[in-house]
Amino acid sequence: MINLILSSEITLDMVRVTEAAALTGSLHLGRGDKNRVDQAAVDAMRGALDYLDIKGTIVIGEGEKDKAPMLYVGEEVGSWNENATEIDIAVDPIDGTRSVAYGKPNAISVIAAAEHGKIASLPTFYSNKLAVGKELADKLDIDAPIRENLRIAAAALGIKVSELTVSILDRERHYDMIKEIRRVGARIRFVTEGDVASAIATALPESGIDIYMGIGGSPEGVLAAAALKCLGGEIQIKPWPRDEQEKDEMEAKGVDFDRVFFTDDLVGGDNVIFSATGVTDGSFLKGVRYRRNVAITESIVMRSVSRTVRRITAYHDLEFKTVTTKTLGERKLIT
C-alpha cells in the first residue's frame, strides 16, 4: 500500500505551502528588513500547513519553542484527524532571507516531509558539507584532500579539472578552500546566501554546478539531503562547532566530530517529498515575478519513491489570490 505521504494530492499540497511562503516573503523584496521577510513567510507557511490532512511534526524549523513563536521544533501542524498520516517535516520558509531583503539572488522557500522518525537533527548549528549529483554519488570523500576529490570528479565526468564548477559560500572561513580549488584549476561559483539551492543544483545538469562544498547551516544540509535523495545525488556532512564552548558542550554530550553523516543518515526511508519555490532568481529556480496584476512563481517538487521531479510554473491572479496566514487568517496577497 502506498503511504498517503506519497499521494499526488499531498505532493501538490506541499507546493502550495512553499508558494504561499515565497509569495508573502517576496512582498518585502529589497526593503532591507530580513526579519520582516522571515516573519511573513513563516506566517503564511504555518497557515498553509494547517490546511493539510496530516499529523505533522516540525523536526527542523525556525528554532526552539521559546525563540520561535511558529514553526518551532516539536510544533504540530496539519489537521491531526484520526486517520491522517503521521509525518515529520523540515522547513525553511526562506532560505536566504538577507537575499530577499537586499534584492540578491538564490533565495527559496523549502519544505521536506518523510515518515515519522526519518529526518535527523544534527548536533551542531554548522556543518562541513560536500554535495554532488548522481554521476558523482559514492565517488568522493569529504575527508579526502580537495585536490584528490576534484581530480576524481573530473575523471568520473570525463572532463578536465578546469571544466569543473564548484559552488561555495563566499565566507572568510572558506579562504583556504578557495585557494586550494584555484590552485587545482577548477572554476568557482560563489554564493552569498542560500546554500540549500546550491547543494541541490549539483544534481540538476542545467545548473552548471558539479560540486558544492564548504561550511554552512546544519538544518540546510538536512533539507538538501531530502532533495538529493529524490534526485539520486549525495551529501556528506560533518559537524563543525563554531567555537570552543560549543565544541566542549558537544563533546560532553558524546558527539563524535569525526563522524560523517551521509544522505540516508540525514533523511531515511523511501517516502520523501521535497518542494521548493523560488523567491529571488537563483541557480535552478526563478524568483517571484509580478506582471500586470499577476504573480508568477516557479517551483520544483520531488518524490523519492519514484525519483519524479516536476517543475511547476503558476500564475496567480492578484485580483483573486488569497493566502491563509496563522495570525490574520485568509487575506488577499496584495490589497
| Per-residue model confidence as pLDDT tens digits over 87-137 | 999 999 999 999 999 999 999 999 999 999 999 988 778 999 999 999 999
- Determine contact, residues 109/22, Cβ cutoff 8 Å: yes
pLDDT at 68 over 70: no
First to last CA, the chain: 45
Question: Any idea what the Cα angle at residue 37 is, between residues 121 and 18, rounded to 5°?
Answer: 60
Please check whether residues 79 and 107 belong to one and the same domain: yes
Picking from 217, 236, 266, the residue at the C-terminal end of a domain is: 266
Is 121 domain-assigned?
A: no
Please check whether residues 146 and 250 belong to one and the same domain: yes
Picking from 216, 247, 266, the residue at the C-terminal end of a domain is: 266
Picking from 266, 285, 319, the residue at the C-terminal end of a domain is: 266
Please check whether residues 61 and 180 belong to one and the same domain: no
Q: Which helix (H) or strand (E) holds 107?
A: none
Is 200 domain-assigned?
A: yes
Please check whether residues 317 and 195 belong to one and the same domain: no
Please check whether residues 163 and 256 belong to one and the same domain: yes
Please check whether residues 130 and 229 belong to one and the same domain: yes
Give me the sign of the Cα torsion angle 160, 236, 86, 327. Answer: negative
Is 293 domain-assigned?
A: yes
Q: What is the pLDDT of residue 319?
A: 92
- Tell the burial category of 285 from Cβ atoms under 10 Å away from its Cβ (0-12, 13-18, 19+): buried
Q: Give per-residue pLDDT as tens, 288-320.
A: 999 989 999 999 999 998 888 999 999 999 999
pTM score, two decimals?
0.92
Is 42 domain-assigned?
A: yes
- Report the mean per-residue pLDDT for the chain: 92
Please check whether residues 197 and 145 belong to one and the same domain: yes
Q: Per the structure, how many domains does the chain have?
A: 2
Q: What is the pLDDT of residue 102?
A: 96
Q: What is the pLDDT of residue 5?
A: 46
Distances (CA, A) of 287 to 37, 118, 167, 228: 14, 30, 20, 21
pLDDT at 225 over 80: yes
**% of the chain with per-residue pLDDT over 90:** 76
Please check whether residues 106 and 132 belong to one and the same domain: no
pLDDT at 1 over 50: no
Is 67 domain-assigned?
A: yes
76 beta partners: 57
Q: What is the pLDDT of residue 264?
A: 96
Please check whether residues 150 and 165 belong to one and the same domain: yes
Please check whether residues 237 and 313 belong to one and the same domain: no
Please check whether residues 132 and 252 belong to one and the same domain: yes
Is 247 domain-assigned?
A: yes
Q: Which domain holds residue 140?
A: 126-266
CATH number at residue 95: 3.30.540.10
Band of residue 7 on the pLDDT scale cut at 50, 70, 90: low
Q: What is the pLDDT of residue 66?
A: 59
